[in-house]
Amino acid sequence: MSSTNNKLRCIITGRQLIATKDYYKRKVEKAGGEDTLHRTYICREAKNLLKQGVSVDRVREILETDMSLVEQVVDSEIIDELLSEERVTKLRRANNIISKSKKISNQTDLKVKQFIKNILNE
């Protein structure tokens, strides 16, 4: 691949990132080469979900992957290496709720439900 090709396609979701030259250069250096980078690039959204223990298939479902853009099977060594990285962030936001419908569903205590029902039916 030529060094002018700074388009990266996520191997999990197929999402494309057009990287700045500096960012692309850093990613190539970290990966150990352009070919390796393009074979192993995973976008941030997919990476975060994988680190939370979500399966590749579920990540693809959540992020609405166009399966024509990705290989059906991802090399398990790539995922294992990602999960073994020591740089996993220590702080996770408590409100990272993932839903396919992109809606937050809340469960309410039965007494609270009844209270609200009573107020609305005055």
Asked if residue 113 belongs to a domain, the reply is no
Asked if residue 112 belongs to a domain, the reply is no
69-109 per-position pLDDT tens digit:
888 888 888 888 877 764 445 445 545 555 544 444 455 67
Asked if residue 8 belongs to a domain, the reply is yes
pTM over 0.75: no
49-71 per-position pLDDT tens digit:
998 889 999 999 999 988 888 88
Asked if residue 96 belongs to a domain, the reply is no
7-28 per-position pLDDT tens digit:
999 999 999 999 999 999 999 9
Q: What is the DSSP string of 7-65?
A: EEE-TTT--EEE--HHHHHHHHHHHTSHHHHHHH---HHHHHHHHTT--HHHHHHHTT-
Total domains in the chain come to 1
Asked if residue 82 belongs to a domain, the reply is yes
Asked if residue 103 belongs to a domain, the reply is no
Asked if residue 40 belongs to a domain, the reply is yes
* Structural domain range at position 81: 1-87
